[in-house]
Amino acid sequence: MTKYVIHYKINGERRWDFAQLETGSLEEAKAALAAIHGESDEPITDIRISKAL
């Protein structure tokens, strides 16, 4: 696994989180964000993924 930074917007606020992902795909990032935020009514948008330095 590789450490990635996920940049995103939730509730109009720009945020970022670290996650350990296998391939760094959008689906993996969405799953990681769902695990972090749980079931939220707020949509998560503008998702960008990059390797952590």
Residue by residue, pLDDT tens for the chain (53 residues) are 899 999 999 988 999 999 999 999 999 999 999 998 887 778 899 999 999 88
- pLDDT of amino acid 37: 87
- pLDDT of amino acid 4: 96
The residue among 15, 18, 23, 27 whose CA lies nearest residue 7 is: 15
Q: For the chain, which residues make up each domain, given as ranges?
A: 2-51
Between CA 36 and CA 14 the distance in angstroms is 15
pTM for the full model?
0.86
- pLDDT of amino acid 30: 93
* CA angle (30 as vertex; 29, 35 as ends), nearest 5: 95
- pLDDT of amino acid 35: 92
- pLDDT of amino acid 27: 95
DSSP 1-53: -EEEEEEEEETTEEEEEEEEESS--HHHHHHHHHHHH-S-SSPEEEEEEEE--
